[in-house]
Structure 1
Amino acid sequence: MKKSILALLTITFIFTYSCSKESSNPTAEPDVTAPTFNFSIAGFNNNSSAIPIVVSNQIEININAQDAGGISKVEAFIDDEKVGEDTSAPYSIIVDVSSLASKTGKTNTFKDYILKVVVTDKSGNSESKNTIINVDNEKPTITGVNLSAGAVINGDNNTVTFDVMDNQELTSVKAFLNNELLIDLPLDNLSININTNNLTDGENVLKIEALDSGENLGSFEVAFISDNTGPEITIESLVENQIIDSLITISPNVNDLYSEVDSLKVFLGDSIIFSLANQTDYSFDFDPNLFGTGANSIKIIATDSLDNMSELIIPIEIYRRLITLNFPSNFYDPQLARIYVFASDAEGNLLDSKRVMQDTDKITLRTIEEISPNSEFMLTIGEYSTGAFGNSSEFTTLQNLTPSTLGEINFKTYPRFDYSPTNPIKFPAQGFDSQDIISLNSEGFGYGGSFYSETEEFSIDRRRSTTSAVNSEFIYVPQVNLTLNEYSYYVADWDIPSDFVFTPQLFTNQNVEKRFYQPILSNGDTFESSSYWIAGYFSNDDFQNNIYHRIDGHGYGYQGLEGIPYYFNSIFTNYKYNVRINDYYTERTGELAPSFHTLDWSIDYSYSNNEIEVIKNGLDHTVGKVFINSDPYVVIGGLNISYRWSLVFDSQKTDNIKLPKIPEEIKTWGFYELYEQGNMEVQQVEIKRYENINSYDEYLYKVIKDNRHSYLVSPVMESKFKSTVPGYYQKAPHFLLD
């Protein structure tokens, strides 16, 4: 009983204590209320589970959640797999859906995914909401673009069409050129125009972007070439204001960076002269002789496969080429003050003039006058030297030239010799009979000697050639005893010892023979006089280079029964000689002929006002020559003025020779006053013929063109001449004329 009362008291205490505590601090009710919320997917307004939302790549879930006790976390699940959470407001979860399959394999329809958003409060209460989403990770496909990679286009009208395919609705299609927006296209008209005039030539990029409702962006890029420029034309063989006087090949380099060269047309002025299409080599020949002279222009128009056109205009001048003169490196004689070459028409009017300088290697004479390839002109070479006491002018004129017959002359260097002779000059000449008349006159290439019986000296002037290595190795000294009518000779080395003494014992007559030649006169002419000159050569090389030695030379005013005597020496390998009989002159190679028939020609002339009228008769002559000479000089203004002028002409068709008019640069030379007054002296006029040369043009080609010795071309030259000094032939040698 006592035990029961104790238990009862205990229960009563506990209850009483409990009631007492509750009444003073009431117990809170547990939080069992779930949060409230709604959510949306960025870019979509309708989250109704009945209508699936199509998303792509990633989605942004924005959650607006409330709870009295506070939100603990927000979570997102796709098909119950957690894909993200957020624990702080504002609540947003970004979910990557790019790895999710878009469609089911069999039906090729969108696969439904359940997107669940769960919001949990701090009491652990949670609330969830679901929506169905479809994932579209397929980008719009751009196909059928009619602009191919590397295509070359031009102009302002280039339509580009294409198709866009997508499994969703397209929201925009844009086109960009070089990353700059070109056009935002209407979805019902997928067509673009490219105006290449707004682009730089070269590579450009067209990009097309298509965006679908799933924010999938499809793009297509194509690089193309814009080409609004014609082919580039360059010419290395032609420069501005170039003078064209002969056939040239013009080789345009025609290149197009982006297109094929289609055609090329060449105009002279406004007239087309050349056209080619679809070629790789556009070279063409231009013959100025087909067109008029004067200023003009060559215009070249090139077109590419896109019809782009470019043109190059080069101003030119068309002249008529007369002749080209080629000079060797050592041609210029430093002893001369001036050398000029000039061309004149048949009336003597100046066509062109050029000065020859020390470094001149080529001169082309040309004219702007309208002449044909067969028009005649004359070429003159003028040389001027001057000193303290006067000056000298020498001219050589070739007449009856045409642009088509000669073309060019290749000059050779006329031999020039040391300014001072080799020492010693004088040698003792002892033992010669003082009672006899003795001649030791020697003459050869680079030397000349004389005997002075009064002083018993032999004087020899020796000079080496300065223009070539060709020189004589010997000095031929003939001794003619006019008292005894005997001939002997001595061959000395060029370098005669300084203590050398000439004596009669040195001379020999071995290989010497006295011979005769018979003058045979034509038409019963009376013999008046004859002269001869004989030279020998020790080798054929000497013969080719005219390294000669005079054997004998004399003149006679009578002839014996056997003819005209002379001495011949057979020690030489080659011979050259000349013979004059009255007004007949011949120059030949080999040994002297036994007889000479004079020519049945006649020659006379008159001279007035710088014109020479030639009166001639006869057949077979081809070349004429006029020699004008001051003989030896004329005093003008206290100065000794000398001049020489040789004019060569076609003797078959020319009777009147006009001296060419003088260029301004030459009018200061001393002779000009006499020229202007017409007071120059004609000393000789001749007509001649050459064996193996049948015309004047052939003479020009065989002798003059390469500046050859005429005796190397023709072994026989015969002339009929008239001289102011009867019985004397003026050879008047010159570097161009023997």
Structure 2
Amino acid sequence: MPNRPHFWSIFFFIVLFSCSSEENNTAIEEENNLNAIAITLDITENTVLSNQEITVTLSTEIDISRLEIFLDDQNIENFLAPPYNFILDIETLDEGEHKLKVAVYSNGKRVASKTITVKIDNIGPQLSIDSIAANELICNKIRVSPRISDIVSNVKSLAVFLDDILVSERDNSTDFSFILNPEELPAGEGNLKFISEDDHGNISRDSIDIAIGEKIMAINFPKDFMRKGIEKIHIVISDSDGNFIDSRTHSSGEIETLEFCSFAETNENSEFILTFIHDFNNTIFNFYVYSNLSKGMLGNAINLNKTSGGLSPASLKLDVPFYEDSYQMRASGPWNSLIYYNGKFSGHVSTKFSNELATNKTFISYFNKNIADSYQWAWITDLQSRTTLAPEDFTKSRVTAATFEIDSGFLSPIMKITGYENEAMYSARTGHLLYSDDLEGPTSSIKKYYFADIFDYYTYSGQVANYTWEGSGKPPSRITIPDASIDYSFSNGQVRFTGLPEYEVGRIRLIGIRTGGAVLTAENPSVRVELIFDGQQNEVILPQIPEGIFPSAVTQMFANKTFEIKQGAAENYSAFSTYGDYISKVLVPSVPFYIASPFKERVFKSEGPQWLPTNEFPF
């Protein structure tokens, strides 16, 4: 019997071989057709398209049944017969590269195809800028460096306008930076406009709102001006009515220049208010408000000089076994404060310092004002290492006995004398209190006092009735008390002042009314305001305080004017004749008053122990 399974295997193999050969022949034929048909477009590879008509031509003798156009694999046109012309609407396409494909069919079979890369350029150049921020106030010449690019073509031109004023114009450049000079532009808010064009005529328009200011002044901070991390210095500029103009904050402790400018045009006589705010730990705020200023008084800059502050205070309670009743024992300076109280010499001394204008030495005075020649003093290094004071710590050597005469023997003036270790400390008003007490002598106009004459630099201050005097060196031997008084008021948020002829400076202290308890916090801060102004002015302005710089409790005090007036004075300086002299010779160079004027006198509204306010920023 024949082997039938073998027969059918052979038959299946023959059929399969015949089919495979037919498919291969078809593929070869199609490939030959693809190679035989030439597709030509009237645009080339990487052509940047416009809204032009594109023509496809074919070189073939084969009958063409269909021609398809694809853009990025999306069928956009179909033709059954020539001509093969089409238009791309480039406005609807994304800028950049695209794939344009032509597919040709004959009798339902694809017989040819061609793909090229084309480019669409339908938007203008792209702009980015980091060298200037939206709404930035510009009062100094700066270089603006915009980055401009076009992903398809070149940037042909850039024109920059401030509103309608041409600022810069560049053609066919790769560097589009330009100088923005406020001195050449009108002050005020404006729109900085950038108009750029690429090689294909596409235009972009970008803009940013800025403000052009006129520079008022600069304030230069030295290194270690304040204790970093504990203190900040805020500065606010206001116009003559107290309206906010500009503000800056110094908190780095490094050398820094803060510049201030105004939207409004100013001249040498334009009046404004300058406020320094010493911010201690966001809870204690001391405002120094200088009014009636002008650019002519201040010049271009204030160069602040640093003072000294203590860090890491050590609390002390020292035994004084030799202490006698009715004696006064005291140490006082920027770095220490101690008095004899409840059987101990108690207080604190600093163990670290904010800068080199400091000392680890403590001066202690010990005397009884009613006992002649009782004055003794001690000069101790690192007092925090001691637990007791001994008699041998004190000496009477180099003690000066001095006299002081006033008009009336029935008055008891208060006298203070401060000594300074060196000229730098003297210039920074960082010294040691050598003597502080009232001078007795009810039957004589001549009063006697004592102090340790161990330094080269001294200052003094005194008070009797409503009159005070201060100066450099040792106290004068005689003072004539003027028969004068001033007046002031604070009502409905308005400060009024009546000074004295020829007294150049007026001063008023306000204290913020706190509603919380004794504990100081940002919500319950201590706020003190020192108003310094032309002594011949009658109205004193409280400046507006902007939001965002201080805790809301502080800004609300100023908004609602919840202050009480504590004291006020008219000041007369021996070396000055106007308020402008005081500003230009004391505030601008940032020195204690006695560097520029050896003597000043002050008249208060009423008698009393309040000598405040006493000083200028930052001393």
- Fold match (TM-score > 0.5): yes
Correspondence for 1:24: none
- Counterpart AA for 2:419: G
Instruction: Say whether 1:647 aligns with 2:535.
Output: no
Q: What SS is found at the alignment partner of 1:423?
A: strand
Correspondence for 2:194: 300
Conserved? CA contact 1:140–1:216, under 8 Å: no
Instruction: Tell me by how many angstroms 1:226 deviates.
Output: 1.3
Correspondence for 1:627: 507
Correspondence for 1:399: 291
1:602 and 1:293 map into 2 onto residues whose CA distance is: 51
2:48 aligns with one of 118, 131, 152: 152
Correspondence for 2:557: 666
CA change 1:447–1:198 in 2 (3 A) is closer
Instruction: Say whether 1:495 aligns with 2:380.
Output: no
Instruction: Say whether 1:282 aligns with 2:173.
Output: no
Conserved? CA contact 2:507–2:533, under 8 Å: no
1:463 and 1:643 map into 2 onto residues whose CA distance is: 25
Conserved? CA contact 2:45–2:117, under 8 Å: yes
1:194 and 1:442 map into 2 onto residues whose CA distance is: 91
Conserved? CA contact 1:633–1:643, under 8 Å: yes
Instruction: Tell me by how many angstroms 1:344 deviates.
Output: 4.0
Correspondence for 1:475: 363
1:197 and 1:438 map into 2 onto residues whose CA distance is: 96
1:218 and 1:322 map into 2 onto residues whose CA distance is: 76
Q: Please list every run of 5 or more consecutive structure 1 residues that lacks an aligned counterpart in the other structure.
A: 1-87, 100-134, 334-338, 386-390, 520-527, 619-623
TM-score scaled by length of structure 1:
0.54
CA change 1:557–1:153 in 2 (3 A) is farther
Q: What SS is found at the alignment partner of 2:347?
A: strand
Conserved? CA contact 2:418–2:434, under 8 Å: yes
- Counterpart AA for 1:627: R
- Counterpart AA for 1:646: E
Instruction: Say whether 1:224 aligns with 2:107.
Output: no
Range with bigger deviation, 254-263 or 199-208: 199-208
Q: What per-residue deviation string (whole Å, max 9, x for no partner) do you get for residues 88-143 of structure 1? A: 9xxx99989x99xxxxxxxxxxxxxxxxxxxxxxxxxxxxxxxxxxx999946667
- Counterpart AA for 1:682: G
TM-score scaled by length of structure 2:
0.62
Instruction: Say whether 1:379 aligns with 2:379.
Output: no
Instruction: Tell me by how many angstroms 1:423 deviates.
Output: 1.7
CA change 1:262–1:688 in 2 (3 A) is farther
1:616 and 1:719 map into 2 onto residues whose CA distance is: 15
- Counterpart AA for 1:508: T
1:722 aligns with one of 591, 595, 603: 603
Q: Please list every run of 5 or more consecutive structure 2 residues that lacks an aligned counterpart in the other structure.
A: 1-17, 519-525, 546-554
- Counterpart AA for 1:398: Y
Q: Larger relative contact order (C-alpha < 8 A, sep ≥ 6)?
A: 2
Instruction: Tell me by how many angstroms 1:262 deviates.
Output: 1.8
CA change 1:491–1:378 in 2 (3 A) is same
- Counterpart AA for 1:429: F
CA change 1:341–1:530 in 2 (3 A) is same
Correspondence for 1:575: 457
Instruction: Say whether 1:244 aligns with 2:244.
Output: no
2:274 and 2:33 map into 1 onto residues whose CA distance is: 97
1:539 and 1:413 map into 2 onto residues whose CA distance is: 14
Instruction: Say whether 1:427 aligns with 2:320.
Output: yes
CA change 1:643–1:271 in 2 (3 A) is closer
Q: What SS is found at the alignment partner of 1:312?
A: strand
RMSD after superposition: 6.3
Q: What per-residue deviation string (whole Å, max 9, x for no partner) do you get for residues 428-483 of structure 1? A: 225x7x9xx9665544344456679xx9x674533437884856333333557764
1:535 and 1:401 map into 2 onto residues whose CA distance is: 31
- Counterpart AA for 1:535: T
Q: Give runs of aligned pairs for residues 312-711 of structure 1, distance below 5 A.
A: 312-315=206-209, 329-332=228-231, 343-346=237-240, 348-351=241-244, 370=264, 372=266, 375-380=270-275, 395-401=287-293, 405=299, 415=309, 421-424=315-318, 427-429=320-322, 440-448=329-337, 459-464=345-350, 468=354, 472-477=360-365, 479=367, 483-485=371-373, 488-493=376-381, 494-495=383-384, 497-501=386-390, 503=391, 506-512=393-399, 533-538=416-421, 547-552=430-435, 571-572=454-455, 574-578=456-460, 585=469, 587-588=471-472, 592=474, 607=488, 610-617=495-502, 624-629=504-509, 645-649=529-533, 655-660=537-542, 665-666=556-557, 672=563, 681-687=567-573, 689=575, 696-697=583-584, 699-703=586-590
2:62 and 2:337 map into 1 onto residues whose CA distance is: 118
CA change 1:480–1:547 in 2 (3 A) is farther
Instruction: Tell me by how many angstroms 1:689 deviates.
Output: 4.4
Correspondence for 2:551: none
Instruction: Tell me by how many angstroms 1:254 deviates.
Output: 1.8
CA change 1:307–1:377 in 2 (3 A) is same
Q: What SS is found at the alignment partner of 2:364?
A: strand
CA change 1:529–1:278 in 2 (3 A) is farther
Instruction: Say whether 1:254 aligns with 2:151.
Output: no
Conserved? CA contact 1:382–1:396, under 8 Å: yes
Conserved? CA contact 1:422–1:461, under 8 Å: yes
2:479 and 2:43 map into 1 onto residues whose CA distance is: 96
Conserved? CA contact 1:625–1:646, under 8 Å: no
Conserved? CA contact 2:39–2:113, under 8 Å: yes
CA change 1:688–1:169 in 2 (3 A) is farther
Conserved? CA contact 1:445–1:472, under 8 Å: no
1:356 and 1:93 map into 2 onto residues whose CA distance is: 84
CA change 1:465–1:633 in 2 (3 A) is farther
